Amino acid sequence: MCKGQLLLLLLLLFCAAGPRIASAATNPQDAAALRSLMKKWKNVPSSWGKSNDPCAKWDGILCDGNGRVTSLNLFGMGMSGTLSDDIASLTELRILELSSNSLDGPLPAAIGKLVKLEYLALTNCGFSGPVPSELGNLSQLTFLALNTNKFTGSIPPSLGKLSNVTWMDLADNQLTGSVPTSRDNGTGLDQLVMAEHFHFNHNMLEGSIPEYLFSSTMRLRHILFDRNNFTGPIPASIGNIPSLEVLRLNNNGFMDKVPPLNNLTKLQVLMLSNNKLSGPIPNLTGMSMLENVDISNNSFDPSNIPSWITDLNGIRTITMQSVGLYGQLPQKLFSFPELENLVLSDNQLNGTLDMGNNISKQLGAVNIQNNKITSVTVYDSFSVKNLNLQGNPLCNGSLLSDTTPCTGQQTEAPPQIIFDAQCANPFIETIVFRAPSFDNVLEFLPQLEKNLSGQINNCTPNQLILMPYSNNEDAYLNVDIKACPVNQKKFTYSQVLNCFNLTVKTYKPPEIFGPYYVKAQHYPFHDKTSRAVLIGIVTGSVLLVVGLTLVGFYALRQKKRVQRLVSINNPFASWGSMEQDIGEAPKLKSARFFTLEELKFCTNDFREINAIGAGGYGRVYRGKLPDGMLVAIKRSKEGSMQGGLEFKTEIELLSRVHHKNLVGLVGFCFEKGEKMLVYEFIANGSLSEALYGMNGIHLDWRRRLKIALDSARGLAYLHDHANPPIIHRDVKSTNILLDEKLTAKVADFGLSLLVSDSEEGKLCTNVKGTLGYLDPEYYMTQQLTAKSDVYSFGVVLLELIVAKPPIHENKYIVREVKMALDMEDGTHCGLKDLMDPVLPKMGGLLGFPRLLKLALQCVEELANDRPSMNTIVREIELIMQDNGLTPDSMSASSSFSIESRTMKVPSKLPYSSASTSSTSFGMDSRAFEYSGVFPSSHGSLKP
């Protein structure tokens, strides 16, 4: 069935959820069947049973002119119970949508009697037992979604008789056996030439996939066979499907060579990781539309970087972990304009890592750990937020040897282990870095190592050791760099000059370390050097900083000491775990430190003319950085109650989350009692300003739908893909900002809370939030859940409709809308007098009844009656699609239906898989098109 026909079915679903058309009284047979079904279900819609005429008054029912039920749509109603044979009495049924309920038990074979059924969706319920073979009788079926249940047994060969089906989703069940084909069973899935989606991932299917399952006449776009137990070779016929866009075969037991795939010129996602594939690395020449490639953890022949990799101009993610790569990486690999993540760990790559001077601005994570990289060339334009080189010779600790301690009498510090140092006077210099939160020194080593690589001149690294500690009121990182002479008791002046030749003017540390200054102790050189020259050398010379390249070796041995020496009063002391690996990205991986002077300069000393907002925390100023970037600087007022706690929270959260629909943190300042946060500047202000006509922005209905979707995506990311999940606690229109393209971004995480797995998504906390948006259940019980954000978001949706604050002229928007509601009014649902007066004049309020219904579901009194943010995202996307709007063309990023990621969260990384590797990635709104797990939640995302 073509996309237009599928859209028609989805429009029918919309109609079922929206206002009813006039119809005759319900057919007695259908009415009796619905009443029988109702007796088997709990938590049915409140309208059920209040009238004897289901076609007229029961939610989710759509009937034809003869009173026959044609659509039963009870998506996400929270029902429980079983599906009885009574369903078979609805013989005119064309649409059956019961997804996201708690229905369980077997799926009755009688469902095969609904021969007019075109759309069957039972996703995310609890059905168990075998998939009924009688489903093969539904010859008009075009959409079949049984994913995310507990079905067992094999795939019925009879499903091969569903010749009109375009979407077949059996993912995330417990199915076993092989994929049925007509040669083996008389009927089979190879007969489904109209199908566009085969989703069989997350099962226990086994055996080999026969060549004849696929053919060039098929219209398949997505083949999702990942996370099963398939064996044998990948069928070569899979390379003959010209329409294929997504191929996921990862996490199976496929063997032998990868067949030619070059004919798949429309392929965007190729996932072959975690199999037993051998032979040469697959040749992907000519596959220019690829965006995500993962062939990790296979047994390919050792190979240099394949030449085709430099031709993938649209690539976003390349994951080739443990595939036998060797040689030096080409610069072009890092310059693809869309490249966001690159994982080449556990190979044999060697030589110098030279990423060039044209690194992709999108590149946020490069993982080359456990290779043989010996040095790194760094340019001024280097901007990668997370470069992991752990496990390379550049970073390992082989240069340190536990031999004689260096015990010079010029330091009161305890003796430190130095290679072949004997008993000599160490030359000591202290570098004071002024960025906060260095209690977990280990996390920052990769940046230091790559920054300082190659800086050693005429000085043996074995002679150097450092001692990181913190002993001042601002908890700055102090690094004592000690150099012990070899085979002599003291350095000469010429030796110091020859070894340490960088100056403050020429050396620039990584941004995370911020400004620094140098303190040196007196040293009795052997030769007679003028005191002035000595002071100049000691103060100006910073090549001693190369000793930082060995910080990891020392810090690994001094973890406990570092923790003890962190200032008790340091508000950042609890950040991070000292148990993390050296190569892990720091918690503040995307935030840089700004000095107070820098921020004074870019705001013209915080002049009033640059003030753009104020709140309980303090004031917000507009600033311009030296590179021309506009920023918003949130400065705490003196005596602010936010203090260290909320300041810590906001930095920690914002530096860890990366999503197009969340305001990004640029940096922070923690100096001289100042606490300031530097955000990206959002040009068009807040949603409330636009709705209330304060900034001249005109929001038509389509733009409001887009803003609703963007905001929902941002919140869904926080709830389901941040690790641990994040509850915002203060969702409101003033915390939704609009950029120059009117893309909405959720802002202000000052009140946000992290939710650990042990808390099961529920926190007992003092009530915080904004009157009018506050969840009544949270207010009464102080039990905070993600559904509290959902309630607040529902208020925002109503605010988009009425363009008034939630409490206006002593009237509460939620109550006013519920009192005025009249769903018989198919155009305005009884809200014409309440809604923004500009909306009725525009006409074309596409999807208005459905969005209103969604908003009212969000503001249900009981949290359990509200949908999740993922469900809200999907519903808004469907509203837009069903009305001819394309969500992705209006807003290209989303946040759900991905299985695992722990690196930077890219803006557009569709179809990611849990198999990507130990370091994997992000998400895209298009995921719902194929995942088959529409609103389901897999593991939390770790940004």
How many angstroms separate the CA atoms of 866 and 793, rounded? 11
Q: What CATH code is carried by the domain that includes residue 726?
A: 1.10.510.10
Q: What CATH code is carried by the domain that includes residue 596?
A: 3.30.200.20
In a domain, 587, yes or no: no
How many angstroms separate the CA atoms of 208 and 591, rounded? 49
In a domain, 909, yes or no: no
In a domain, 574, yes or no: no
Same domain, 691 and 665: no
How many angstroms separate the CA atoms of 228 and 236, rounded? 19
Token digits of residue 507: 């050396």
Rounded to 5 degrees, φ, ψ at 464 are -105, 145
310-345 exposure pattern, b = at least 16 Cβ within 10 A, e = fewer = ebbeebbbbbbbbbbbeeebbeebbbbebbbbbbbb
Rounded to 5 degrees, φ, ψ at 710 are -60, -45
How many angstroms separate the CA atoms of 710 and 721, rounded? 16
Residue reference for tokens 């489903």: 135
Largest CA distance in the chain: 111
Token digits of residue 63: 């009937």
How many angstroms separate the CA atoms of 298 and 257, rounded? 11
Same domain, 488 and 534: yes
Question: Distance of CA 375 to CAs 5, 329, 350, 354, 387, Å?
Answer: 58, 12, 9, 9, 13
In a domain, 898, yes or no: no
What is the number of structural domains in the chain? Answer: 4
* Alpha helices by DSSP H, 782-837: 786-802, 813-820
Same domain, 622 and 558: no
Give the model's pLDDT for residue 126. Answer: 93
Closest to 924 measured CA to CA, from 906, 903, 940: 906
Give the model's pLDDT for residue 395. Answer: 63
Closest to 797 measured CA to CA, from 878, 732, 883: 732
What single string gives the DSSP state of each residue in 182-250?
HHHHSS-GGG-TT--EEE--SS--EEEPPGGG--TT----EEE--SSEEEEEPPGGGGG-TT--EEE--
In a domain, 867, yes or no: yes
Same domain, 651 and 700: no
In a domain, 307, yes or no: no
Strands 61-63 and 69-73: antiparallel
Closest to 358 measured CA to CA, from 336, 335, 339: 335
Token digits of residue 932: 């088959």
Of the candidates 248, 276, 304, which is a domain's last residue? Answer: 276
Strands 229-233 and 206-208: parallel
- Note down the domain range covering 740: 687-888
Same domain, 554 and 624: no
52-86 exposure pattern, b = at least 16 Cβ within 10 A, e = fewer = eebbbebbbbbbbeebbbbbbbbbbbbbbbebbeb
Of the candidates 654, 680, 706, which is a domain's last residue? Answer: 680
Closest to 650 measured CA to CA, from 623, 674, 678, 616: 678
Give the model's pLDDT for residue 650. Answer: 63
Same domain, 699 and 668: no
Same domain, 560 and 624: no
Give the model's pLDDT for residue 150. Answer: 94
Token digits of residue 648: 């810590």
How many angstroms separate the CA atoms of 461 and 458, rounded? 9
Same domain, 510 and 557: yes
Q: Is the dihedral of CA 766, 771, 775, 780 positive or negative?
A: positive
Token digits of residue 80: 């429980």
Of the candidates 276, 307, 330, which is a domain's last residue? Answer: 276
Same domain, 609 and 500: no
In a domain, 632, yes or no: yes
Cα distance between the two ends of the chain: 39
Closest to 662 measured CA to CA, from 905, 358, 492: 905
In a domain, 350, yes or no: no
Q: Who contacts 460 (Cβ-Cβ below 8 Å, separation ≥6)?
A: 486
Number of H helices, E strands in the chain: 20, 49
Same domain, 600 and 703: no
How many angstroms separate the CA atoms of 233 and 559, rounded? 49
Beta strands in 719-856 (DSSP E): 726-727, 736-738, 744-746, 753-754, 763-764, 783-784, 807-808, 811-812
634 belongs to an annotated ligand binding site: yes
Closest to 670 measured CA to CA, from 598, 749, 603: 598
Same domain, 817 and 764: yes
DSSP 490: S
pLDDT digits over 242-300, tens only?
Answer: 999 999 999 999 999 999 999 999 999 999 999 999 999 999 998 988 988 999 999 99
Question: Distance of CA 839 to CAs 18, 447, 711, 741, 831, Å?
Answer: 19, 53, 21, 21, 11
Give the model's pLDDT for residue 130. Answer: 96
Q: What CATH code is carried by the domain that includes residue 79?
A: 3.80.10.10
pLDDT digits over 833-857, tens only?
Answer: 888 888 876 667 888 899 999 999 9
Q: Which residues of the chain have pLDDT under 50?
A: 1-23, 397-425, 436-437, 439, 442, 449, 452-458, 460-467, 469-474, 501-506, 526-587, 589, 641, 751, 756-761, 890-943
This model's pTM is above 0.75: no
Same domain, 137 and 8: yes
Stated length of the chain: 943
Q: Catalytic amino acids?
A: 730
Written as one letter, the residue type at 169 is D
Closest to 79 measured CA to CA, from 52, 53, 40: 40
Give the model's pLDDT for residue 834. Answer: 87
How many angstroms separate the CA atoms of 663 and 648, rounded? 17
Give the model's pLDDT for residue 380. Answer: 58
